[in-house]
């Protein structure tokens, strides 16, 4: 009897003390594309945030100023649409009361939610390629992945020089992202001594590119550029261009998507394609992340995912440095002050002062790879100064 009472007392104490040590929760929004053409990017981002959260939760939570916070990811799908992103942003900011959002995937969605997030001091980490996403008037927006503006020129210089490309054809989605990339690429090819001779714009959900490709190929282009298209769409373009007998160079100067393109178009059609790669499997931490990703989710990792893993981890470090999770202004300043961050992809620093007027763009090494047997083989290593 006495023993039972003791036991009961002990368990009560355990319960109470357990209650007293209960963790605080830190909610992180993931406003990404989980359905439609951009879904593989969105999933890569959401899962990056989940894995980063898993890291800190394993240690009992994120420790900021003596309090441990269990990190919880709240995910919403914007279907790559500005209006759905606004609905989700309103829910995240006003109902779930999150102060940090990983997202959005698309350019139009980030521009649409910025009035809400900037006004309320919510820090966002977007993938959106538009130059307008970052500006001094939008101090709470950061971009952890390089965009066409950062990576296009050195890669295009290299391709034009080594593959003797003179005229290039390209298809772009008809939206903010597509327009921005078309403009950047056209200037980059011009500078490299080639011309973007044939461009076509199409609705994002289009699957039949034969008429457009017929037109492009009829103009006798040396190469077809895939940058700006979602992985699935790019795969269809490759397959259908080869179906039409196109034998020139196919390249993608931005946006990692090789695995998905090979999945859709098949190994034969993608053989010899040149792709942008942010990912050197020779870097051990990067390889380990890829293995962890595929073993956790049983799906190939999208190449954008590591940037958002690093980005989320940098955000956590900024919270620790600032000693607060509530005061996002202090966290933002701490995030800006991080330098030489050792991420899984290499050493990361903020850049973009010249281009955007604010240093909220992460700079990291990148590569040009040739697709052989469905796998990326790195053929040139690049920095923003050039490739070799």
Partner 1 sequence: MSFLIAQSLINGVILGTLYLLMAIGFTLAFGVMRIVNFAHGEFYMIGAFCALIGVTWLGLPFPITLALTIAFAILLGAVVERLVFRPFRADELSGMIASLGLAMILQHGALILFGPDPQAFPSLVSGVFRWGALIVPKSRALALGIGIVILLVFYVFLMHTRHGRALRALVQDQEVAAVFGVRLEIMYPLGLGLGVALAAVAGGLMAPLFGVSPFIGGTPLLKAFIVVILGGLGSIPGAALAAILLGLIESFTSSFISASAADIVTFALVIGVLLVRPAGLLGRAET
The residues that touch partner 1, with contacts defined as CB under 8 A, are 34-37, 39-40, 43, 174, 200-203, 205-208, 210-212, 214-215, 218, 231-232, 235-236, 239-240, 243-245, 260, 262-264, 266, 268-269, 299
Tokens of 329: 């202004």
- CB 31, min distance to partner 1, A: 16
- Nearer to partner 1 (CB atom), residue 45 or residue 334: 45
Phi, psi for 247 (deg, rounded to 5): -115, 5
- DSSP-derived pairing of the beta strands 346-351 and 361-363: antiparallel
How far is the CA of 210 from the CAs of 104, 216, 219, 242, 243, in angstroms?
31, 10, 14, 10, 9
- CB 329, min distance to partner 1, A: 36
- Nearer to partner 1 (CB atom), residue 164 or residue 205: 205
- Nearer to partner 1 (CB atom), residue 200 or residue 372: 200
- CB 49, min distance to partner 1, A: 17
- CB 181, min distance to partner 1, A: 17
DSSP-derived letter for residue 245 is: T
- Nearer to partner 1 (CB atom), residue 122 or residue 213: 213
- CB 305, min distance to partner 1, A: 13
- Nearer to partner 1 (CB atom), residue 23 or residue 263: 263
- CB 86, min distance to partner 1, A: 22
Q: Where are the alpha helices (DSSP H) in 125-256?
A: 148-163, 176-192, 210-218, 231-243
Q: Could you tell me which residues come within 8 angstroms of residue 253 by beta carbon, excluding any fewer than 6 positions away?
A: 148, 151, 152, 155, 156, 159, 185, 188, 225, 227, 276
- Nearer to partner 1 (CB atom), residue 297 or residue 341: 297
- Nearer to partner 1 (CB atom), residue 6 or residue 218: 218
Give the DSSP letter string of 67-105.
Answer: EEEEEEEEEEE-TT-HHHHHHHHHIIIIIS--SEEEE-S
Tokens of 208: 């039949």
Give the C-alpha separation, 229 to 293, whole Å. Answer: 24
Closest residue by Cα to residue 119 from 139, 105, 104? 139
Give the C-alpha separation, 122 to 262, whole Å. Answer: 37
- CB 261, min distance to partner 1, A: 10
- CB 214, min distance to partner 1, A: 5
- Nearer to partner 1 (CB atom), residue 36 or residue 365: 36
- Nearer to partner 1 (CB atom), residue 177 or residue 239: 239
Give the DSSP letter string of 112-141.
Answer: HHHHHHHHTT-EEE-----GGG--TT-TTE
Tokens of 72: 């919880």
- CB 227, min distance to partner 1, A: 18
Element spanning 165, H or E? none
- Nearer to partner 1 (CB atom), residue 35 or residue 162: 35
- CB 281, min distance to partner 1, A: 21
Sheet with 167-173, edge to edge strand ranges: 195-202, 167-173, 223-225, 249-252, 274-277, 366-372, 375-383, 386-387
């Amino acid at each position: 009897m006495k023993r039972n009472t003791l036991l009961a007392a002990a368990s009560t104490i355990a319960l109470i003390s357990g209650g007293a040590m209960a963790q605080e929760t830190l909610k992180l929004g993931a406003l990404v594309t989980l359905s439609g053409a951009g879904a593989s990017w969105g999933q890569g981002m959401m899962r990056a945030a989940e894995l980063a959260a898993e890291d800190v939760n394993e240690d009992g939570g994120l420790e900021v100023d003596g309090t441990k916070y269990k990190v919880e990811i709240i995910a919403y799908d914007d279907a790559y649409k500005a209006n759905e992103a606004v609905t989700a942003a309103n829910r995240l900011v006003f109902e779930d009361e999150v102060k940090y959002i990983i997202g959005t995937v698309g350019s139009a969605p980030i521009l649409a939610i910025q009035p809400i997030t900037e006004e309320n001091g919510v820090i966002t980490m977007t993938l959106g390629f538009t130059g307008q996403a970052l500006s001094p008037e939008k101090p709470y927006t950061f971009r952890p992945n390089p965009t066409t503006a950062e990576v296009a020129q050195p890669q295009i210089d290299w391709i034009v020089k080594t593959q003797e490309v003179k005229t290039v054809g390209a298809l772009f989605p008809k939206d903010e992202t597509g327009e921005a990339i078309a403009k950047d690429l056209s200037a980059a090819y011009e500078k490299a001594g080639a011309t973007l001779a044939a461009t076509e714009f199409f609705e994002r959900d289009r699957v039949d590119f034969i008429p457009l490709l017929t037109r492009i190929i009829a103009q006798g282009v040396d190469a077809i550029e895939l940058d700006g298209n979602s992985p699935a769409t790019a795969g269809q373009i490759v397959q259908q261009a080869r179906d039409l007998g196109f034998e020139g160079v196919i390249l993608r100067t931005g946006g990692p998507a090789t695995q998905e393109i090979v999945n859709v178009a098949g190994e034969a059609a993608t053989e010899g394609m040149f792709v942008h790669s942010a990912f050197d499997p020779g870097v051990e931490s990067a390889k380990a992340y890829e293995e962890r990703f595929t073993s956790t989710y049983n799906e190939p990792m999208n190449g954008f995912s590591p940037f958002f893993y690093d980005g989320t981890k940098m955000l956590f470090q900024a919270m620790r440095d600032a000693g607060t999770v509530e005061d996002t202004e202090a966290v933002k300043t701490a995030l800006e002050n991080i330098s030489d961050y050792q991420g899984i992809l290499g050493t990361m620093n903020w850049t973009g002062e010249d281009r955007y007027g604010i240093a909220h763009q992460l700079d990291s090494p990148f590569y040009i790879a040739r697709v052989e047997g469905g796998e990326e083989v790195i053929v040139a290593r690049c920095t923003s100064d050039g490739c070799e």
